[in-house]
Structure 1
Amino acid sequence: MAGLVRWDGFSADPRRTEVAGVRASDGDRETAVEALREAYADGRLDRTEFDRRSQAALSATLLGEFAPLLQDLEAPAPAALSVRDEAVRRYRRETRDARNAVLTVGTMTTGIWGATSVFNGDVYFFWPIFPILGVGVGWLMQVVNRGQRIEHHERRIARRLGRRRDADREDDGDA
């Protein structure tokens, strides 16, 4: 099974010993974190492991530091999903995360409001409505702009696949 990590997304392949000591760029760190995000979303990493590896990827200074963080990640079944199906899957994950943010902010702020009201023996104005609405607008925009968000993901996936095909052609030409 092919690896989840797009090693060609790095400025140089971090698995190669001759480039392990080369300084990493911001783009290299973002490539590593994106691979970790995908592994987390696919259930390959739990939250603690994702946080640990992401922090290590963001603080990496050398290309060789990425290989141990990413080598054990496996890809989903190759070409199992069409570009459209993968875009819809990403949209659903994105929308679920936005919904969960609304619920988390709502629960936390309402808990604080309730605790302070009970502690002081008086019911205060329900101020949590403001952060709930603020985060809720982001979730609502995800839902309202469903088609645009899916198209956005389709373009990103197609662009990534195009780069992968170009790299494969270059590899075939080198052989």
Structure 2
Amino acid sequence: MTGLVRWEGFSADPRRAEVAGIRAGDQDRETAVEALREAYADGRLDRIEFDRRSHSALAATLLGEFVPLLQDLEAPTPAALSVHEEALRRYRRETRDARNGVVAIGVMTSGIWGATSIASGELLFFWPIFPILGVGVGWLMHVVNRGQRIEHHERRIERRLSRREDEEDDES
């Protein structure tokens, strides 16, 4: 989908006023969530906005409710990225998210450790090292396996582009 919402994936085009009041089905909700997943994967939605819109899409009862959730995702990106550039962008976001997970776990567990040390009146064993190392290994694997992760994303992008071309050929 990269850049465009596939409105034809809905049971009827929700942008049309005469169908906006028709009840949405499970396939319509799944089509909307898939468009949101694509937008999140493309970096056009952050996690909080993706979660908010996905929740609204899954709760939608009428076709017209999908329009405000997807309307601003319709325009194509200004410059199409090459498959490698897009894969590299996805790798960087994936690695950044893994790093942020290590930091979040470190801050949270260290805070708990600090509070319990203060409450007990003595310096306790620094147990947060174990969850930090556990999550840190995942981040480190992203960094160490950079080439493989980028190739993985390239294959996924190429498969998606190939499927899109097949769908367009079928429509012709």
**TM-score, length-scaled by structure 2:** 0.78
- Residue number in structure 2 paired with 1:115: 115
Task: From 23, 26, 41, give the equivalent of 2:25.
Answer: 23
Distance 1:155 1:9 in 2: 26
1:53-68 correspondence runs (5 A): 53-60=53-60, 65-68=65-68
Q: Give how far 1:153 is off.
A: 0.5
**Structure 2 counterpart of 1:168, which letter?**
E
Distance 2:156 2:7 in 1: 16
**Structure 2 counterpart of 1:91, which letter?**
Y
Q: Give how far 1:69 is off.
A: 0.9
Secondary structure, in 3 states, of the residue corresponding to 1:153? helix
Distance 1:114 1:9 in 2: 55
Q: How many residues align?
A: 167
Bigger Cα displacement from structure 2, 47-56 vs 116-125: 47-56
Bigger Cα displacement from structure 2, 119-128 vs 99-108: 119-128
- Residue number in structure 1 paired with 2:50: 50
For structure 2, the residue ranges without an aligned partner over 5 or more in a row are: none
RMSD of the alignment, in Å? 3.0
Percent of counterpart pairs with the same letter?
56
Task: From 29, 34, 37, give the equivalent of 2:37.
Answer: 34
- Residue number in structure 2 paired with 1:7: 6
Give the direction of change, closer, same or farther, for the CA distance of 1:153–1:48 in structure 2 (3 Å limit): closer
- Residue number in structure 1 paired with 2:97: 97
Give the direction of change, closer, same or farther, for the CA distance of 1:96–1:9 in structure 2 (3 Å limit): farther
Distance 1:56 1:152 in 2: 31
**Structure 2 counterpart of 1:4, which letter?**
G
Deviations 1:106-136 (A, max 9, x none): 0111011011101221111111111111211
Distance 1:38 1:107 in 2: 27
Distance 2:13 2:133 in 1: 44
Q: Give how far 1:144 is off.
A: 1.4
**Structure 2 counterpart of 1:158, which letter?**
E
- Residue number in structure 1 paired with 2:76: 75
**Structure 2 counterpart of 1:76, which letter?**
T
Runs of 4+ in 1 over 6 A off after TM superposition: none
Deviations 1:71-97 (A, max 9, x none): 112432242x11001101100010010
Secondary structure, in 3 states, of the residue corresponding to 1:71? helix
Secondary structure, in 3 states, of the residue corresponding to 2:77? coil
Deviations 1:28-77 (A, max 9, x none): 365133134136x34xx465533321222344466654333111124322
Q: Is contact 1:11–1:28 with CA below 8 Å preserved after alignment?
A: yes
Distance 1:158 1:37 in 2: 18
Q: Give how far 1:13 is off.
A: 6.4
- Residue number in structure 2 paired with 1:130: 130
Bigger Cα displacement from structure 2, 19-28 vs 48-57: 19-28
Q: Give how far 1:9 is off.
A: 9.1
Bigger Cα displacement from structure 2, 22-31 vs 154-163: 22-31
Distance 1:159 1:96 in 2: 24
Give the direction of change, closer, same or farther, for the CA distance of 1:125–1:23 in structure 2 (3 Å limit): same
